[in-house]
Structure 1
Amino acid sequence: MINKRLNVLFVPILGAGHVNGCIGVAERMIESGHRAVFMVDTVWSGKLTAYGIEEALMTPEGTVPPISAVEKARYMMAVGVIGGASAHQKARLRATVADWWTKHAQYMDGELRRLLPVIRPDVIVLDQFVTLPAAELSGVPCVWCWSSVPLVIIDDERAPPVQSGLSASGDQRLWHEFRELVRDVTREKWQAFNEWAVGRGCEPLPEYCFHSPTRYLNIYGYPLELDYQDIRPLGRNYVRFDALKRTERHLPFAVPPELATKPGALVYFSMGTISSVDVQNMRRLVAILAKSPHRFIISMGPLHKEYTLADNMWGQESVPQIRVLPLVDLVITHSGVNTVTETMFFGKPMIAMPVFGEQYDNAQRLHDKGFGLRLDAYKCSEEELLAAIETLLNDKALAERLAEVSRRIQTDNSLAKVSQLIEDFVQNPRKYIE
């Protein structure tokens, strides 16, 4: 056990999924007596103090000024990342996405360089998709926290390519085609990013990779029952936890009386902060769910005022998901990694309706492993969605399997060990990294 209070600097991507994953780790560090500081923009100002987290605000100057979740989502809709196209079709947009990540990295890198001498961290916890040279060159031990599907950590030919939504037991020729497509459309962007990182003093990045995970302790949250280590083992500098789940102790929740008195099973429906901005599709899905005999708690998203709910529903802009999940019988989700891992924690079946990115992989993995059903968020029919709800609610064998998974996850309580792991890494980095 370390004999000093660590200054832990968290540098997450400033989206709800990434920040929430880091909160789960930060809470455990704080419980162990350490200081947790998050590098955030003004959009997040004041939102983390309830967890005991300090905020180090970035300056608004730079190539990427702070933007809200709505603005991010509208941009993603405009370029086609959010919408009804397939994962394969969206792979052709990777060059545009790579441009955005380059600008993001340059801005975050500059802010990190400015804040490092102010905070003087003992360890840096990054939740990013691309390398930040300021962290790599700082001499401070770095932990890469992946609040994403494990496929994103390292591209291994033995597993499906990330963001493809292809099955681990499927046609590997499709894996190869998808990989080649992504490499073709991102080759020039990767070369430019690599030149920038090398120009900042970093070693060259692995080919077609915007980060180098071998230089960090890597931690990620994914249940054992869904992970890919059976087909693609990872090295000693990769440590799995079942979930990077925050507690939300300060956010009490009870089923509203107007919903509690109605008949039917209780279902939680959330498309996440970003995907829910597609109001047209939210209206379509809500209209289908209105025909169900069951009750729905709905996380409506930031544009919640632009559509209305039916009588069998209750919702708000956002709900305390950790408090809601134990109360429901079924979850309908965009299959973001936090929702998937948290729902597995509580042992609930899922209808997974991915919209973009690693959501496709999570949805397919759930489907393949028999813990839920994958549907198309934009093309599923009324009959398909309503039938899927009834199928999962009436699957007693699945309920028993999920209850056993939940018992294992809660008994193992793996995230409780994250503080000791990071302390050990700070004291002896070579134990984990050559």
Structure 2
Amino acid sequence: MPLKVLFVPILGDGHINPCIAIATQLVADGHRAVFTANDVWRPKLAAYGIETVELANRNVTDDGAQRLMSLGIIGGASPIEKVRLASGHAEFWTKHAQNMDTQLAAVLPAIRPDVIVVDQVWTLPSVVLSGIPCVWCWSVGPLVMLDDERTPPGESGLSATGDPRMWHEFRQLVRDVNQEKWRPFNDWVVGRGCEPLPELCFYNPSRYLHIYGYPLELDYQDIRPLGRNYVRFNNFKGTARHVTFAVPPELAAKPGKLVYFSLGSVCPVDVQNMRRLVAILAKSPHRFIVSMGPKHKEYTLADNMWGAESVPQLSILPLVDLVITHGGLNTVTESLYFGRPMIAMPVFTEQYDNAQRLHDKGFGLRLDAYKCSEEELLAAIETLLNDKAMTERLAEVSRRIQTDNSLAKVSQLIEDFVQNPRKYID
């Protein structure tokens, strides 16, 4: 029986694109997918056969990047320093949840979905109170998804083989900072008619079927197994539908290997650092395709580069020999899908964890986006381009992921969850 699946994602590329990939699979399997979105996303969603219910929500990247810059979250501070800086970001997410909740409560009775898929930061009481089965899609890393003393804390960038005393120090600071923002949020949730949230948690994990995209080769399940309401996929990679790309002739004619350089849709807002990195890469004998970001008009690429504000990543990755990335989840999982080595230069949040995990597992190198020297970055490029053993390991990972095609199983999982929720949730 076809299901009507309502998606409630944060309106940002890193959140909505994984939901599009899941929805596309559901539509292909005969279900209906409806997104809460705005007029910016409606045309793109329609191209995938996805319906929309318009809500008055801004894209989080519209003013979010500049706000993160002003707080110092995008910048050269360390992960532990950014925990303190992020306390000023809590008000934004509180208002976001309250605004989303008000609008969603008004439209849910008319939509009448069979299941809701949320990709949010904090809980939405209207979803809880609806009684509709809910899937929480995690477009951030598994350490952020679930805090467990057996692993490093999320957003720390600490190694799973590192000193647990450093884990404890970071985790305790997060708890101290969260205390002041959790209480008023929990009071609001209770005031909406919901049960209190678990201590210092902004959602109740036991209420949801959780799905996340993270390759087996990077995951932490060998350290901390997960409950039956957590299901791993290799990635939430979409398809490059309606997009064609060829290396521009002026770049194709130049010598050297081809490298993709992207710090995502938000981090390039720091133009000064982008200029610094571009100046270093200009000294490389290789060629670069650059995702320039929202301030693309404020800096210039070198002769061995081509770029644009936004580029079709999924069409570019099969063409390149190496990826230089901020360590965002989508870029990491998509690069592994195509078997590409990575230099990960994290800027904030779970990017630190992904970068360290790549480094620890031998699929790339972690460098500091703000402090790496010219010598370090240029040497890292040569090291990875000439590491044949890593290339072979990545090719094996790529073959496994592509053969497994785990996303094809998402419809069956959601169907089963709707029919038998107690199979996953007590």
* TM-score for the superposition, normalised by structure 2: 0.98
Matches within 5 A, 1:254-333: 254-333=246-325
The one-letter amino acid of 1:87's match is P
Number of residue-to-residue matches in the alignment: 426
In structure 1, how many angstroms separate the alpha carbons of the residues matched to 2:417 and 2:129?
18
Cα distance change, pair 70–348 in 1 and its aligned pair in 2 (3 A): same
In structure 1, how many angstroms separate the alpha carbons of the residues matched to 2:164 and 2:40?
42
1:124-164 Cα offsets, whole Å, 9 max, x none, are: 00001211111111111100000110011211100111111
Residue 10 of structure 1 aligns to a residue whose secondary structure is strand
CA contact (8 A) 2:3 2:114 kept: yes
In structure 1, how many angstroms separate the alpha carbons of the residues matched to 2:73 and 2:266?
11
Aligned to 1:165: 157
Deviation at 1:68, TM superposition (A): 6.0
Aligned to 2:52: 55
Aligned to 1:82: 74
CA contact (8 A) 1:70 1:274 kept: no
In structure 2, how many angstroms separate the alpha carbons of the residues matched to 1:290 and 1:329?
17
Q: Could you tell me which of 15, 23, 30 is aligned with 2:20?
A: 23
The reply to whether residue 101 of structure 1 matches residue 98 of structure 2 is: no
Aligned to 2:31: 34
In structure 2, how many angstroms separate the alpha carbons of the residues matched to 1:9 and 1:37?
5
The one-letter amino acid of 1:350's match is M
Q: Could you tell me which of 229, 235, 243 is aligned with 2:235?
A: 243
Aligned to 1:192: 184
Aligned to 1:150: 142
Structure 1 segments unaligned to the other structure (5+ residues)? 60-64
CA contact (8 A) 2:292 2:309 kept: yes
Deviation at 1:432, TM superposition (A): 0.8
Structure 1, 365-374 or 46-55: larger mean CA deviation: 46-55
Matches within 5 A, 1:212-251: 212-251=204-243
The one-letter amino acid of 1:368's match is D
CA contact (8 A) 1:80 1:90 kept: yes
In structure 1, how many angstroms separate the alpha carbons of the residues matched to 2:107 and 2:287?
48
Deviation at 1:335, TM superposition (A): 0.5
CA contact (8 A) 1:143 1:219 kept: yes
Aligned to 2:338: 346
The reply to whether residue 388 of structure 1 matches residue 388 of structure 2 is: no
Residue 173 of structure 1 aligns to a residue whose secondary structure is helix
Deviation at 1:341, TM superposition (A): 0.4
Aligned to 1:62: none
CA contact (8 A) 2:11 2:60 kept: no
The one-letter amino acid of 2:20's match is I
In structure 2, how many angstroms separate the alpha carbons of the residues matched to 1:98 and 1:42?
26
Q: Could you tell me which of 413, 416, 425 is aligned with 2:408?
A: 416
| Aligned-CA RMSD value | 1.1
Aligned to 2:368: 376
Deviation at 1:93, TM superposition (A): 2.0
In structure 2, how many angstroms separate the alpha carbons of the residues matched to 1:236 and 1:296?
43
The reply to whether residue 182 of structure 1 matches residue 174 of structure 2 is: yes
Aligned to 2:7: 10
Residue 406 of structure 1 aligns to a residue whose secondary structure is helix
In structure 2, how many angstroms separate the alpha carbons of the residues matched to 1:205 and 1:154?
15
In structure 1, how many angstroms separate the alpha carbons of the residues matched to 2:61 and 2:196?
33
CA contact (8 A) 1:286 1:309 kept: yes
In structure 1, how many angstroms separate the alpha carbons of the residues matched to 2:155 and 2:378?
27
In structure 2, how many angstroms separate the alpha carbons of the residues matched to 1:93 and 1:209?
19
Deviation at 1:29, TM superposition (A): 0.4
In structure 2, how many angstroms separate the alpha carbons of the residues matched to 1:275 and 1:200?
35
In structure 2, how many angstroms separate the alpha carbons of the residues matched to 1:316 and 1:196?
43
Q: Could you tell me which of 349, 358, 365 is aligned with 2:357?
A: 365
In structure 2, how many angstroms separate the alpha carbons of the residues matched to 1:380 and 1:94?
24
In structure 2, how many angstroms separate the alpha carbons of the residues matched to 1:255 and 1:101?
40
Cα distance change, pair 170–68 in 1 and its aligned pair in 2 (3 A): closer
Identity %: 73
Aligned to 2:347: 355
Aligned to 1:123: 115
In structure 1, how many angstroms separate the alpha carbons of the residues matched to 2:280 and 2:125?
48
Aligned to 2:199: 207
In structure 2, how many angstroms separate the alpha carbons of the residues matched to 1:82 and 1:231?
31
Deviation at 1:346, TM superposition (A): 0.5
CA contact (8 A) 1:9 1:38 kept: yes
CA contact (8 A) 2:12 2:59 kept: no
CA contact (8 A) 2:73 2:86 kept: no
In structure 2, how many angstroms separate the alpha carbons of the residues matched to 1:138 and 1:68?
26
In structure 1, how many angstroms separate the alpha carbons of the residues matched to 2:295 and 2:227?
43
In structure 1, how many angstroms separate the alpha carbons of the residues matched to 2:16 and 2:203?
19
Residue 416 of structure 1 aligns to a residue whose secondary structure is helix
In structure 1, how many angstroms separate the alpha carbons of the residues matched to 2:143 and 2:226?
11
CA contact (8 A) 1:70 1:302 kept: no
Deviation at 1:206, TM superposition (A): 1.4
1:393-432 Cα offsets, whole Å, 9 max, x none, are: 0000000000000000000001100011111111111111
In structure 2, how many angstroms separate the alpha carbons of the residues matched to 1:166 and 1:194?
29
